[in-house]
């Protein structure tokens, strides 16, 4: 079930926005992982790890609640937990090219690359 559920969850995450930036959380690169635990009752529990653009972002709770509500409304999901982390810290290089274009950044092929010691996973 997780092979078909993950793309559906990603589609829902593309409907969740940072209220201060006109780009969805998925394309901003704020979603670090989606873990799906298949349940016995045709529902799967979901654990999403995300970050914020800055540790001081006052909208973090709003964004995590939005994810929990929207992913939790899917008929295939059971319990939804959203964990916020700052390890690794978010960087603009984590955005998709779509987000980069919307925000006026150059596409990744022309964007400056992070130094080797700044790479994450």
Q: Which residues pair with 48 in a beta bridge?
A: 34, 82
92-96 long-range contacts, CB within 8 A, separation 24+: 94/28, 94/29, 94/30, 95/23, 95/27, 95/28, 95/29, 96/26, 96/27, 96/29
Tokens 């997780």 sit on residue? 2
Please tell us whether the domain made up of 2-118 is placed in CATH 3.90.76.10: no
> pTM for this structure?
0.84
Residue boundaries of the structural domains of the chain: 2-118
For residue 119, is pLDDT > 70? Answer: no
pLDDT 10s digits, 36-92: 998 878 899 999 999 999 998 889 999 999 999 999 999 999 999 999 999 999 999
From residue 71, how far is each of 14, 37, 39, 58, 118 by CA, in Å? Answer: 11, 14, 16, 22, 32
How confident is the model over 104-117, as pLDDT tens digits? 988 876 545 555 55
pLDDT > 70? residue 98: yes
Mean pLDDT score of the chain: 88
């Amino acid at each position: 079930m997780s092979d078909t559920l993950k793309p559906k969850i990603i589609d829902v995450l593309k409907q969740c926005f940072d209220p201060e930036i006109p780009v969805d959380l998925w394309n901003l690169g704020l979603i670090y992982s989606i873990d799906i635990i298949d349940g016995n009752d045709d529902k799967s529990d979901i654990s999403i790890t995300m970050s914020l653009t800055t540790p001081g972002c006052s909208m973090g709770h709003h964004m995590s609640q939005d994810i929990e509500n929207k992913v939790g409304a899917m008929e295939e999901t059971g319990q939804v937990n959203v964990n916020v982390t700052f390890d690794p810290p978010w960087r603009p290089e984590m955005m998709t090219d779509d987000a980069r274009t919307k925000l006026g950044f150059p596409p990744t092929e022309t964007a400056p690359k992070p130094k080797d010691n700044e790479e994450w996973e």
